[in-house]
């Protein structure tokens, strides 16, 4: 029963370790987020402030910042795990565990790699699965000798991360309801395409092609994005 309880945030540790990032890259990223916020004509959104608060927790063990993170994320996380079927008290406990993990792992968070909400999402997702299975969810481990590192320069990645965030946000808004509903079922109701097919009576192939259409519209698969070239 060893590695069941091993470090639960390999991905994030990996992200922190891999990023030989420079201040230039940070400025690039700040610029992109700045533009994004200017577009929606509000100062810095509450969600965007979370990145900085999480960094403050990681660097200075700042309890005030942690409380603001808790106030923002805990009710969302509770809603998330309850949508996935957890009872109130179980949900509460899972959220506590997830937020404790946020506190403990905050120093591995890299704002150039992902928004705080994405990082917190992956922690809560894993906590919930580990609780159901009573076993650690398998994840790739960058310290694994078999691990195949990527060749892209870190600098590209940070600019790309910011662009991705923005694209996903816009695309999700513009997705036809039928496809948006499918995505919600996968993320918020824990339904695989097989379960959706069995439930709706739709052929498996139909469900799969609808999901693929949605992913294609959001340009979330690598092929799509790369074929799309420089178009907006």
Partner 1 sequence: MPVHHPEPERLMEYAAGAASPAMDVLIAAHLSLCPTCRKTVERLERMGGHMLESLGSDEDVVSMSPGAFDALLEKLDLPEEAPQAAAGDEIDPLPGVDLPAPIRETLRNLERPLEWRNRGKGIEEAEIPLPVDVDDSVRMSLLRIQPGRAVLEHTHDGGEELTMVLAGGFSDEHGHYVRGDVQTGDDELIHKPIADEGEVCVCLAVVEGNLRFTGPVGRVLNLFMRT
Q: Is 148 in the site for partner 1 (CB under 8 A)?
A: yes
Complex with partner 1: residue 28 or 96, whichever CB lies closer: 96
Q: Is 134 in the site for partner 1 (CB under 8 A)?
A: yes
Alpha-carbon distance values, 52 to 71, 95, 107, 128 (Å): 15, 21, 12, 26
Q: Is 228 in the site for partner 1 (CB under 8 A)?
A: no
Residue 22: partners with Cβ closer than 8 Å, 6 or more residues away: 155
Closest CA to 116 of 76, 64, 172: 76
Q: Which stretch binds partner 1 (CB under 8 A): 16-24, 29-37, 132-140?
A: 132-140
Q: Is 44 in the site for partner 1 (CB under 8 A)?
A: no
Contacting partner 1 (CB under 8 A), which of 13, 53, 106, 120? 120
Q: How many residues bind partner 1 (CB under 8 A)?
A: 101
Residues 90-119 that bind partner 1 (CB under 8 A): 90-93, 95-96, 99-100, 103-104, 114-119
Q: Is 85 in the site for partner 1 (CB under 8 A)?
A: yes
Contacting partner 1 (CB under 8 A), which of 49, 62, 141, 217? 141
Q: CA geometry: angle at 88 spanning 83 and 90, to 5°?
A: 95
Complex with partner 1: residue 28 or 92, whichever CB lies closer: 92
Contact 52, 151 (CB under 8 A): no
Q: Is 16 in the site for partner 1 (CB under 8 A)?
A: no
Q: Is 135 in the site for partner 1 (CB under 8 A)?
A: yes
Residues 172-211 that bind partner 1 (CB under 8 A): 172, 183-184, 186-195, 197-199, 204, 208, 211
Q: Is 215 in the site for partner 1 (CB under 8 A)?
A: yes
Contacting partner 1 (CB under 8 A), which of 18, 19, 52, 76? 76
Q: CA geometry: angle at 182 spanning 125 and 166, to 5°?
A: 70
Contacting partner 1 (CB under 8 A), which of 31, 59, 60, 133? 133
């Amino acid at each position: 029963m060893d590695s069941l309880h091993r470090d639960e945030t390999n991905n994030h540790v990996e992200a922190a370790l891999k990023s030989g990032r420079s201040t230039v890259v940070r400025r690039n990223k700040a610029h992109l987020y700045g533009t994004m916020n200017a577009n929606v004509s509000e100062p810095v959104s509450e969600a965007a402030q979370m990145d900085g608060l999480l960094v403050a927790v990681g660097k200075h063990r700042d309890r005030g910042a942690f409380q603001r993170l808790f106030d923002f994320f805990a009710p969302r996380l509770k809603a998330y795990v309850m949508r996935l079927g957890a009872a109130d008290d179980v949900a509460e406990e899972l959220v506590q565990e997830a937020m404790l993990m946020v506190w403990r792992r905050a120093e591995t968070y890299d704002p150039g790699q992902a928004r705080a909400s994405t990082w917190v999402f992956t922690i809560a997702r894993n906590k919930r699965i580990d609780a159901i299975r009573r076993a650690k969810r398998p994840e790739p481990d960058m310290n694994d000798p078999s691990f195949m590192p990527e060749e892209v320069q870190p600098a590209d990645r940070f600019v790309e991360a910011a662009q991705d965030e923005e694209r996903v946000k816009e695309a999700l808004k513009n997705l036809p309801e039928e496809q948006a509903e499918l995505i919600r079922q996968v993320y918020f109701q824990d339904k695989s395409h097989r379960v959706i097919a069995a439930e709706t009576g739709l052929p498996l192939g139909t469900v799969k092609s609808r999901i693929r259409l949605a992913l294609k519209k959001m340009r979330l698969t690598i092929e799509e994005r790369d074929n799309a070239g420089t178009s907006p």
